[in-house]
């Protein structure tokens, strides 16, 4: 079991070492592709194990929990690792044509694989301190990727990115220290019971807010999102795509994990804050996108607005809302990474991502136009694509909870998202190129076209599959939500079958914890 859980972390690290050793030649890029494929296979094996046996856990070095390092996977962890593998492989293939030789020699492929390892580690760790460790692995790798090439605009965005994330780190570590002082443990399964016996529940809520801020920075929620639109449009397209797909979702995952497993002692207070944060995040993100005139800047602001939908599901904290949050999380990773990949091909053909400097893409690359419309319509919530079902579930959950104003906000933000996608279509694809140029995909070599378009097409097909056949994915999200709202299986997998009665013996039955 330990190898099944550890392999999605070990494989990217091993690939990073090999890619760095062979960075001077073309071998490094193919090592990255093979390693990414290995990660996807390992994540599939892990998913099969979780579907077969339920929540699985392993103790590294055979140190029993809660004292050792724990790796644990439930349905949410497993699907996030699978989506990481899918996105990682798609971007690795895309990078064959996107990343130039200089960036490869500077270590792009090694940094890319370290980032994947950090993301998988964050999804699989069962210890709150090791979650901090994996966040730092991600921060180091992402900063290296962000400034790779050393252009002034990259350095400017990188400084903003790392500064705010370091503030988040300080907040995170401070919260970890206070939490350990109150409970004597940092194992997340053990914390589920330990927080119920804390003598000072007011201080526990303060610590919860500290974690909310720390993870909120990582997730780019209102008002902590300013680093994202300042940074995501500056690096190579492959870097932007993997950032857009995965980095902020690790912050969302951390919020979902901790505020369903640990910080559930004062839901009326903490989750009301999350509800307002979700609403403001949706509104500010979509308004920022509407004001932008650059393909990647528009998409960057839409990351923020869509994060608001995910936080909304957590904030409502009903079974249907959690289903919507999980569904939205998976859908958005695929769609958003794909839109950034499309933006890269558009720049490659038309010469820029500034909307007033490009055009004619539909005339000279109609297949690319189709590949844009699928994720764009999905992001906007057009039926029957995946984004429609994700938004539908969250809006219905809002109405069922009688929080009508936030349902209205979600619908209005969806309409404004349509406006932004229409603006991109009208300027980049429909109007003629302002310079009278005739951009064509045929100007690229066969390998370049295949490397750029194959992952975009594959992700678009996956979006269509989720949209046209949503029931299996909704069922999966439902089972995942049940595990999150009733963490009995999670706790017993980590601590053993006798762990839950200990919580109940203190006068707090499991059903009472999640009320």
- Integer Cα distance of 235 and 141 in angstroms: 13
pLDDT at residue 505 in the model:
37
> pLDDT tens digits for 192-203?
989 988 888 889
Residue scoring higher pLDDT (503 or 133): 133
Q: What is the pTM of this model?
A: 0.92
- DSSP-derived secondary structure for 164-212: HHHHHHHHHHHHHHHHHHHHS--BHHHHHHHGGG-S-HHHHHHHHHHHH
pLDDT at residue 198 in the model:
87
pLDDT at residue 360 in the model:
80
Neighbours of 265 (CB within 10 A): 16
- DSSP-derived secondary structure for 193-260: HHGGG-S-HHHHHHHHHHHHHHHHHHHT-TTS-THHHHHTTSS-HHHHHHIIIIIHHHHHHHHHHHHH
**CB within 8 A of 428, min separation 6: which ones?**
295, 346, 350, 355, 358, 359, 361
For residue 294, list its beta bridge partners. 354
Task: Read off the pLDDT band of 359 (50, 70, 90).
Answer: confident
Q: Where are the alpha helices (DSSP H) in 351-385?
A: 361-364, 366-380
Provide φ and ψ at 403, rounded to 5°: -100, 75
**CB within 8 A of 271, min separation 6: which ones?**
259, 314, 315, 316, 317
Domain coordinates of the chain in residue numbers? 266-468
pLDDT at residue 352 in the model:
80
Do the Cβ atoms of 484 and 260 come closer than 8 Å? yes
Do the Cβ atoms of 112 and 242 come closer than 8 Å? yes
């Amino acid at each position: 079991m330990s190898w099944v859980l550890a392999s999605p972390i070990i494989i990217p690290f091993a690939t990073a070492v090999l890619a760095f050793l062979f960075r001077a030649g073309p071998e490094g890029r193919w090592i990255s592709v093979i390693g990414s494929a290995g990660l996807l296979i390992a994540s599939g094996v892990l998913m099969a194990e979780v579907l077969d046996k339920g929540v699985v856990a392993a103790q590294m070095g055979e140190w029993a929990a809660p004292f050792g390092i724990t790796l644990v996977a439930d349905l949410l962890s497993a699907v996030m690792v699978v989506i990481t593998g899918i996105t990682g492989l798609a971007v690795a293939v895309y990078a064959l044509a996107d990343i130039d030789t200089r960036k490869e020699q500077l270590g792009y492929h090694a940094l890319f694989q370290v980032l994947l390892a950090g993301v998988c580690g964050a999804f699989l760790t069962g210890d709150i301190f090791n979650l901090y460790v994996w966040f730092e692995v991600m921060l180091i790798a992402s900063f290296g990727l962000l400034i790779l090439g050393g252009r002034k605009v990259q350095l400017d965005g990188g400084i903003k990115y790392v500064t705010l994330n370091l503030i988040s780190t300080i907040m995170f570590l401070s919260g970890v220290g206070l939490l350990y002082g109150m409970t004597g443990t940092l194992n997340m399964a053990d914390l589920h019971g330990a927080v119920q016996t804390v003598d000072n529940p007011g201080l526990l809520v303060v610590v919860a807010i500290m974690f909310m801020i720390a993870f909120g920075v990582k997730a780019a929620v209102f008002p902590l999102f300013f680093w994202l639109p300042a940074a995501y449009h500056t690096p190579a397209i492959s870097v932007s795509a993997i950032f857009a797909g995965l980095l902020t979702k690790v912050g969302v995952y951390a919020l979902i994990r901790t505020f369903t497993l640990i910080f559930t002692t004062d839901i009326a207070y903490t989750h009301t804050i999350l509800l307002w944060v979700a609403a403001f995040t949706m509104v500010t993100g979509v308004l920022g996108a509407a004001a932008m005139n650059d393909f990647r800047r528009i998409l960057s602001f839409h990351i923020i607005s869509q994060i608001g939908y995910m936080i909304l599901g957590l904030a409502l904290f009903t079974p249907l809302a959690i289903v919507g949050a999980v569904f939205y999380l998976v859908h958005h990773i695929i769609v958003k990474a794909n839109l950034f990949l499309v933006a890269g091909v558009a720049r490659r053909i038309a010469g820029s991502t500034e909307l007033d400097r490009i055009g004619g893409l539909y005339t000279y690359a109609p297949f690319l136009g189709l590949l844009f419309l699928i994720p764009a319509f999905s992001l906007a919530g057009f039926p029957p694509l995946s984004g429609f079902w994700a938004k539908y579930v969250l809006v219905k959950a809002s109405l069922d909870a009688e929080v009508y104003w936030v349902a209205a906000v979600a619908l209005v933000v969806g309409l404004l998202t349509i406006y932004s996608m229409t603006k991109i279509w009208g300027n980049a694809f429909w109007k003629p190129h302002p310079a009278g140029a005739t951009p064509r995909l045929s100007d690229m070599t066969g390998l370049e076209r295949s490397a750029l378009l194959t992952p975009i097409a594959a992700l678009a097909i996956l979006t269509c599959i989720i949209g046209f056949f949503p029931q299996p994915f909704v069922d999966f999200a439902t089972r995942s939500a049940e595990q999150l709202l009733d963490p009995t299986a999670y706790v017993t997998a980590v601590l053993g079958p006798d762990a839950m009665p200990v919580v109940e013996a203190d006068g707090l039955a499991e059903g009472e914890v999640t009320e």
